[in-house]
Amino acid sequence: MRNRMILAAAIASTVLLFTGCSDPGAAPRSAGATVSVVASTNVYGSIAQAIGGDRVEVTSLIDSATQDPHEYEASARDQLRIAKADVVIENGGGFDPFVDGLVQASGTKATVITAASLSPEYVAEGEADAAHGDAAHGDPGDDGSAQSHSADQDHAHDHLEGFNEHVFYDPAVMARLADKIAGELGAIDPDGRDVFTANAKAFAAGAATLETDLARLESTHEGTGVFVTEPLPLYLTDAAGLDNKTPEQFSEAVEEGQDVPPATLLDALKAISSHQVAVVIVNAQAGGPETDRVEQEAKAAGIPILRFSELLPDGQTYLTWMGDNIRQLADALA
């Protein structure tokens, strides 16, 4: 993940230098005080705001589409925000490891919500990883379940092999996240519990509409080929029934910031030039020579190119943003 785990360790050691900037001991909450929420990106900040309304104060550490979460370097100011937070929301799964460094360095008492842990795919990958580790160490436990759960907790913020960490492209997971946020906010601010619950239900209804739109695409375009330069939109395209024709080594290399093997690049270009795909989706915040070649090939073949982001565009909410992405996909397929 572009050396994310190395980056996380470096960030953790850096922000430790600034531990003296904050006091992790929080004062008692005063009546009517807003709940402080810090989110790793504006995607999660938007969802927190939708659930908390005017009873929360939300700060998104990354709030501009010009910033790349994979390259983000945490600051002492970020650490101070985390230290004073009541709730911290991260993606997890290796997407935003700088949050873990901040949480550890600040000594925050905040509740940390990890979106990736709400994904069935993450749970399945974590259990498989745990089972493999238990077998390798010859310690299966009484029935295996306790060890699997413990290992999953230990790996809650790590990248799991084979897991697509971009869970914010899965509306169903975001609906679960909204419910989780409502529960945690209600525990901190009981007077707002009904408001949080109602807002979470409204958000879930919006997410259900997105899923309906995707199911409609699936009914019309199931099996249609799609090319993605990175795994970013795969939860969305899978739900739409599209068939990912991207050579696995291509998207993995691009996501890791590595060179694409020449033979793999040729396979990728062939998939496009031979019209095995109906649409190409690129990460709007990342690029390179190989992705440029893919775009050139798609343009030459007359195949639509969509640009999806890892961050929320200005003026959008999560639901409107994801709705726009689905409409763009529908238009391209049509």
Topology of 4-121+152-206 in CATH?
Rossmann fold (3.40.50)
- Cut 0.75: pTM above it: yes
Q: What is the CATH number of domain 222-333?
A: 3.40.50.1980
AA identity, residue 317: T
Helices 171-188 and 193-221, axial angle in degrees (round to 10): 180
For residue 48, the tally of other CB atoms under 10 A from its CB is 27
Least confident of 28-42, 147-161, 221-235, 311-325: 147-161
Residue 9: what pLDDT? 44
Residue 16: what pLDDT? 41
Tokens of 332: 């391209």
CATH 3.40.50.1980 spans which residues of the chain? 4-121+152-206, 222-333
Select the more confidently predicted residue: 130 or 165.
165
Rounded to whole angstroms, the Cα distance separating 314 from 321 reads 10
254: left (phi over 0), alpha (psi -120 to 50) or beta: alpha
142-171: pLDDT as tens digits: 333 333 233 333 334 455 667 999 999 999
Select the more confidently predicted residue: 187 or 151.
187
> What percent of the chain is modeled with pLDDT above 70?
79
Per the CB < 8 A criterion, the answer to whether 130 and 105 are in contact is: no
